A = this chain, B = another copy of it.
Amino acid sequence: MKRRDFLTAAGAGVAASAAVAMPAIAQSSPEVKWRCTSSFPKSLDTIFGAGELMARSVAEITDGKFQIQMFAAGEIVPGLQALDATQNKTVEMCHSASYYYVGKDPTFALGTAVPFGLNTRMMNAWFQFGSGLTLLNEFYKKYGVVMLPGGNTGGQMGGWFRKEIKSVADLKGLKMRIAGMGGQVLARLGVVPQQLAGGDIYPALEKGTIDAAEWVGPYDDEKLGLYKVAQYYYFPGWWEGCAALNFFVNDEKLAELPKAYRAALVTAAARANESMLASYDYKNPPAIENLVKAGTQLRRYPDDVMDAAYKESSALYEEIGAKNPDFKKIYEDMKAYRGPAYQWWQIAEYTYDNFMIRARSRG
């Protein structure tokens, strides 16, 4: 197990392109202005705020000489075109979620979340000290970008339902707003997945055009007001045991940066990566209380749904892996860490949390 860190991994991704694009700048502290397009609106302050923290940190530590201007989704390009805009140099970098691009290649899912993947701390460990970031950046090189972890939402919720789900049978024919691989797995269980932008979820759920919808977790979901039109709030969000956000940087643009600016960017991204998680962990607790006070009914997914989803997820990974060597290689590497990681997790972390949860409920 070799130690790897952000800078090494980012450096590896840069090496090849450095030969293509020689640093054009001789000065060591030139004025550099970049644009970073986000896939998210400013109203998602936890996520968008991490992008802003990255940009502000870079500016502060370079005395304002390296400026990265953040743009919300739609200001330069629509949210889901952030990666393309970075690849084709419309912008130098973006803040996005890798799994938005599974249409290009399912391997993109592994940079953010796959059903029954790692939890948040494991994801960061696999990225930084396992081979996660190195393998993913080998893959992203095909798209001309280098990825730096750019925050995490923590474990998500499993969505809002207008009717209770008591078994797999209740999922049949249900129209649910859900994206990515979670949707593919649910489709195997009879759900009809729908793709809707954040702002369109509330009216669709209100009118009954859809029966269920997933978004993020209490803090973000409360803002969308989904509790007003769907009573049952399910957990856990088994398709997003964590969701890693990502900074994608055009690899030639990164190679053109003075070395110190590159280090500033990598270090600032790491700070943003940690800060977003802390933000969610602080804001979700009061939000779940508000939701419950407003009448939300919390429900745990029935065991048969969890088991069936787990089985179908494994089958899906087999099918994808048989056709896609990149997916197979990176998924298998993640899985090889996940087993021992959970074996350890259940000892100190899980039993501590278990006791604290019980102690709290006893008062």
Seen from chain A, the residues whose Cβ lies within 8 Å of a Cβ on chain B are: 1, 3, 5-7, 28-29, 49, 53, 57, 60-63, 116, 119-122, 124-130, 154-157, 217-218, 235-238, 241, 258-260, 263-264, 267-268, 270-271, 273-275, 277-279, 281-286, 288-289, 298, 300, 306, 310, 337-357, 359-360
Contacts and interface: CB of A to CB of B under 8 A. Distances in A.
B340 A285 contact: yes
Nearest to A129: B282
Interface of A, secondary structure class, is: helix
Contacts of A259: 60, 63
Given A7-B60, A260-B61, A274-B274, A285 B341 contact: yes
B352 A125 contact: no
Contacts of A349: 119, 154-155, 236, 353
Contacts of A337: 282, 285
A112 to B, nearest CB: 16
Contacts of A218: 344
B128 A278 contact: yes
B1 A343 contact: no
A283 B63 contact: no
* This protein's copies in its complex: 2
B356 A289 contact: no
A6 B272 CA distance: 11
8 contacts: A3-B49, A60-B260, A236-B351, A238-B355, A285-B337, A338-B360, A342-B356, A342-B357
A341 B122 contact: no
A80 to B, nearest CB: 25
Contact of A343 (B62, B126, B288): B288
Count chain B CB atoms within 10 A of each CB in A49, A268, A288, A356 and give the residue with the most.
A356
Contact of A263 (B57, B275, B285, B350): B57
A28 B178 CA distance: 51
A260 B63 contact: yes
Contact of A29 (B29, B268, B284): B29
A288 B128 contact: no
Contacts of A350: 350, 353-354, 357
A341 to B, nearest CB: 5
A105 B89 CA distance: 56
Contacts of A120: 121
Q: Give me the 8 closest cross-chain CB pairs, A-B, nearest first.
A: A129-B282, A60-B263, A285-B340, A125-B281, A236-B352, A270-B271, A155-B348, A125-B282
Contact of A121 (B5, B121, B125, B300): B121
Nearest to A355: B306
Contacts of A258: 63
Contacts of A339: 360
A38 to B, nearest CB: 18
A236 B28 CA distance: 51
B343 A5 contact: no
B121 A263 contact: no
A357 to B, nearest CB: 4
Contact of A241 (B7, B124, B352): B352
Contacts of A289: 340, 343
